[in-house]
Amino acid sequence: DAKTTQPNSMESNEEEPVHLPCNHSTISGTDYIHWYRQLPSQGPEYVIHGLTSNVNNRMASLAIAEDRKSSTLILHRATLRDAAVYYCILRGAQKLVFGQGTRLTINP
């Protein structure tokens, strides 16, 4: 499975946008980029996924670099409820393997 690299932690302020980066320089042409998050004491939650084009849904936006070697998850207006560990995963095979993720702290 191709690997992803994310910062261990990030901090942001409530009601401000948050940009969570992910590097995946060994991505293959058929790998989808998935993002999940895990709120404290809960199971992981699917956020968004994409292949080549930028994607938007009610939770977030996913911006994918033209060479697909990096991507950014964008939370447009962070709330305290967005404090979680965010996982960026490449999904090309049948397995779904999680890395360490980025722990996002939101300051009031």
CB of 104 to other proteins, least distance (A): 15
Dist. CA 66–CA 54, nearest whole Å: 10
CB of 13 to other proteins, least distance (A): 26
Which residues, at least 6 apart from 78, have a Cβ–Cβ distance to it below 8 Å? 12, 13, 14, 15, 16, 17, 18, 106
What separation in angstroms does the CA of 14 have from each of 33, 39, 41, 43, 79?
Answer: 26, 16, 21, 23, 5
The stretch near other proteins (CB under 8 A) out of 15-23, 37-45, 61-69, 72-80 is 37-45
The stretch near other proteins (CB under 8 A) out of 11-19, 21-29, 45-53, 71-79 is 45-53
The footprint of other proteins on residues 63-102 (CB under 8 A) is 91-92, 94-101
> Total residues contacting other proteins (rule CB under 8 A)?
20
Q: Is residue 46 a contact residue for other proteins (CB under 8 A)?
A: yes
